[in-house]
Structure 1
Amino acid sequence: MIQLQGVHKAFGRNKVLRGVDLTVPTGESMVIIGGSGTGKSVTLKCVLGLVTPDAGRITLDGQDVTRADRDAFLARFGMLFQGGALFDSLSVWQNVAFRLLRGHAKRPKAEAREIAIEKLRRVGLKPEVADLFPAELSGGMQKRVGLARAIAAEPEIIFFDEPTTGLDPIMAGVINELIREIVVEMGATAMTITHDMTSVRAIADKVAMLHDGVIKWTGPVAGMDQSGDPYLDQFIHGRAEGPIAAVR
């Protein structure tokens, strides 16, 4: 579904991506792990076309993402943002139905509201939540609303940016379980970036370790603990000593 070949990206003298090679098969959940500042978010932005690589090629179903029709291309994606990124001035249902109320996937208002309430129900929120505003919700509820919005237009591909950041362990577990269930139900292709190893083990089919601008290791989640890769081993076990230097 998604393929990156020799992708480079620098911002001034800061070389963030130094030749990323990665393949995400259709219908699988790929989780990219790595420390802060290793280029995980930049990788997602390159796939979405929000950032243009300096070199290399990124394809979606064999089509170069830099040459795709933008509206049709982006309509294939859903995204759960790290901070929720809900619109404060819109009600919950309007946030969930944001894409359905405009542009490529526009639906009649009543239909969009009905879909939004169904998606809220899917993530465990009652219909009466629909007319509240984001400020009236807890952090966990806001994250669920963000997940409902990500799936509202039935996307083929869903991106999850640090999906459990800021949540307590129990709510993080709930969100991880919802993500896994929804991705499987929809048959969607998923890409997640996170440093939460509990999330990795809960939602990944395959894992890619990004460090120093390149993929150091990729393989099935079940193979992480016996990978033999020193970078991956240090990261997943949180060891201070190893090839990844701690910033002091």
Structure 2
Amino acid sequence: MIELRGIHKAFGPNRVLRGVDLSVPRGESMVIIGGSGTGKSVLLKCILGLVKPDAGRILIQGEDATGLDRDAFLARFGMLFQGGALFDSLTVWQNVAFRLLRGAQKRPKAEAREIAIEKLRRVGLKPEVADLYPAELSGGMQKRVGLARAIAAEPEIIFFDEPTTGLDPIMAGVINELIREIVVEMGATAMTITHDMTSVRAIADDVAMLHDGVIQWTGPVANMDAAPDPYLQQFIHGRAEGPIEAVR
């Protein structure tokens, strides 16, 4: 579904991506791990076209992403943002139906509201939540609303940016379980960036470790613990000693 070939991106002298090669199979859940500042978010932004790579190609189902119609291209994606990124001035249902109320996917208001309420139900929120504002919700409920928004337009590809950040362990487990269920249910291709190893084990089919601007290791999540790569082993076990230098 997604293929990255030799992706480079620098910001001034800071070479963030130095030749990323990665394939994400259709209908599978790929989780990208790596330390803070290794370029995970930059990589997602490159795929979405929010940041233009300096070199390399991004293919979506074999087609060069730069040659695709912009609106049609973005309509294929859903996104769960790290901080929720809900609009404070909109009600919960309006947040969920944001894409359905405008642009090429515009639906009548009543239909959009109905879809939003159904998606809220899917993530475990009652219909009465629909008319509340984000400020009236807990952090876990806001994350669920963000997930409902990500799936509202039935996207083919869903991105999850640090989906459990700021949540307690129990709520993080609930969100991980929901993500896994929904991705399987929809048959969507998922790409998640996280440093939470509990999330990795819960939602990944495949794992890729981004380090020093390249994919250091990639493979099925079942092979991760036994992989001999010292960078991967240091990261997944949180060891202070190893080839990855800790910033002090």
User: Per-residue displacement from partner, 1:158-216 (whole Å, max 9, x unpaired)?
Assistant: 00000000000000000000000000000000000000000000000000000000000
DSSP 3-state at the match of 2:78: strand
Question: What amino acid is the match of 1:228?
Answer: P
Do the aligned partners of 1:52 and 1:66 also contact (CA within 8 Å) in 2?
no
Matching residue of 1:140? 140
User: Per-residue displacement from partner, 1:103-148 (whole Å, max 9, x unpaired)?
Assistant: 0110000000000000000000000000000000000000000000
Do the aligned partners of 1:34 and 1:210 also contact (CA within 8 Å) in 2?
yes
DSSP 3-state at the match of 1:154: coil
* Residue correspondences, number: 248
Question: What amino acid is the match of 2:244?
Answer: I
Question: What amino acid is the match of 2:2?
Answer: I
- Taking structure 2 as the reference length, the TM-score comes to 1.00
Question: What amino acid is the match of 1:82?
Answer: Q
DSSP 3-state at the match of 2:224: helix
Matches within 5 A, 1:93-242: 93-242=93-242
What percent of counterpart residues are identical?
88
Give the Cα separation in 1 of the matches to 2:125 and 2:27. 26
Do the aligned partners of 1:89 and 1:133 also contact (CA within 8 Å) in 2?
yes
Matching residue of 1:39? 39
Give the Cα separation in 1 of the matches to 2:179 and 2:2. 20
- Taking structure 1 as the reference length, the TM-score comes to 1.00
DSSP 3-state at the match of 1:27: coil
Matching residue of 1:84? 84
DSSP 3-state at the match of 1:243: coil
DSSP 3-state at the match of 1:147: helix
Give the Cα separation in 2 of the matches to 1:66 and 1:15. 22
Give the Cα separation in 1 of the matches to 2:65 and 2:11. 20
DSSP 3-state at the match of 2:225: helix
Runs of 5+ unmatched residues, structure 1: none
